[in-house]
Amino acid sequence: MENIKNYFKEKSRYFPLKFFIGKPVNFFLPIAIILTIIPLIVHVRGILLDSDTTRIYGRAPQTDLFSQEKASFLLFFSVILIIISAVFFKKIFEKKDKTINLILIGTFVFWIFTLFSAIFSAHKDYAFNGAYDRAEGLITITCYMLLLIYSIYTFKTTNNYKYIVIPILILVVILSFLGIFQYTGHDLINSKIGKFLVIGNLSGQLSLMYEKGKLYGTLYHYDYVGSFVAIVLPLLVILTIFEKKLVYKIILGIGSLLSLWLLFGSTSRAGLIGVVVSFIFGIILFGKTLLKRWKPILIGLLSLIILVIALNFATKGIIFERVPSLVSDALSIFKDTSNFDGSNYTPIKDIKYVDGHSEVVLPNETIKISYENNNYVFRNSKDEIINYSENNRVFTTNDSNFKNISFKYTKTSGRKVGFIYLSLDGNAIFAFGLNHDNTIHLVDSNTNNDIDVAHPEVTKFLIGKEKLGSSRGYIWSRSIPLIKNNLILGSGPDTFIFQFPQNDFIGKYYAYDTPNMLVDKPHNLYLQIALNDGLIALIAFLCIMFIYIFDSIRLYAFKNNYNHSQILGLANSLGIIGYLFGGFFNDSVVSIAPVFWIVLGVGIAINFINRKALNN
Give a yes or no: residue 381 inside a domain.
yes
Contact 212, 559 (CB under 8 A): no
Say whether pLDDT at 484 is over 50. Answer: yes
Q: Which of 171, 213, 177, 211 is nearest to 194 (CA)?
A: 177
Q: What is the pLDDT of residue 14?
A: 34
Mean pLDDT calculated for residue range 135-140: 97
Burial class (CB in 10 A: 0-12, 13-18, 19+), 205: exposed
Give a yes or no: residue 370 inside a domain.
yes
Confidence of residue 579 (pLDDT cuts 50, 70, 90): very high
More confident residue, 595 or 96: 595
The 10s digit of each residue's pLDDT in 378-406 is 999 999 999 999 999 999 999 999 999 99
Q: What is the pLDDT of residue 9?
A: 47
Give a yes or no: residue 385 inside a domain.
yes
Q: What is the pLDDT of residue 211?
A: 67
Mean pLDDT calculated for residue range 318-344: 74
Give a yes or no: residue 348 inside a domain.
yes
DSSP label of 364: S
Q: What's the CA gap between 545 and 552, in Å, rounded?
A: 11
Tally of structural domains, the chain? 1
Confidence of residue 263 (pLDDT cuts 50, 70, 90): very high
The 10s digit of each residue's pLDDT in 557-567 is 988 888 999 99
Q: Which of 12, 32, 386 is nearest to 20 (CA)?
A: 12
Give a yes or no: residue 23 inside a domain.
no
Q: What's the CA gap between 457 and 476, in Å, rounded?
A: 11
Say whether pLDDT at 289 is over 50. Answer: yes
Say whether pLDDT at 473 is over 80. Answer: yes
Confidence of residue 54 (pLDDT cuts 50, 70, 90): confident
Q: What is the pLDDT of residue 198?
A: 85
Q: How far is CA 439 from the centre of its chain?
A: 42
Contacts of 481 (CB under 8 A, 6+ apart): 456, 457, 458, 459
Partners of 350 in the β-ladder: 361
Say whether pLDDT at 311 is over 70. Answer: no
Q: What is the pLDDT of residue 462?
A: 92
Give a yes or no: residue 373 inside a domain.
yes
More confident residue, 321 or 540: 540
Say whether pLDDT at 8 is over 50. Answer: no
More confident residue, 20 or 55: 55
Give a yes or no: residue 166 inside a domain.
no
Q: What is the pLDDT of residue 415?
A: 62
The 10s digit of each residue's pLDDT in 412-468 is 766 677 889 999 998 989 999 998 889 999 998 777 788 999 999 999 999 999 999
Please give the share of the chain, as a percent, with pLDDT higher than 70.
90
More confident residue, 331 or 234: 234
The 10s digit of each residue's pLDDT in 80-104 is 999 999 999 999 998 889 999 999 9
Least confident range of 245-249, 281-285, 294-298: 294-298
H helix or E strand, kind and range, residue 36 = helix 29-37
Domain that holds residue 386: 342-450
Confidence of residue 530 (pLDDT cuts 50, 70, 90): very high
Q: What is the pLDDT of residue 22?
A: 45
Q: How far is CA 117 from the centre of its chain?
A: 20
What's the pTM value of the predicted model, to 2 decimals? 0.91
Q: Residue 38 carries which side chain, given as an amino acid letter? A: I
Mean pLDDT calculated for residue range 282-295: 77
Least confident range of 84-98, 190-204, 495-509: 190-204
The vertex-451 CA angle with 449 and 457, nearest 5°, equals: 145
Give a yes or no: residue 124 inside a domain.
no
More confident residue, 36 or 284: 36
Q: What is the pLDDT of residue 59?
A: 74
Average pLDDT, the chain: 88
Say whether pLDDT at 18 is over 60. Answer: no
- Strand 375-379 versus strand 61-64 pairing type: unpaired
Least confident range of 34-38, 56-60, 165-169, 212-216: 56-60
Say whether pLDDT at 7 is over 60. Answer: no
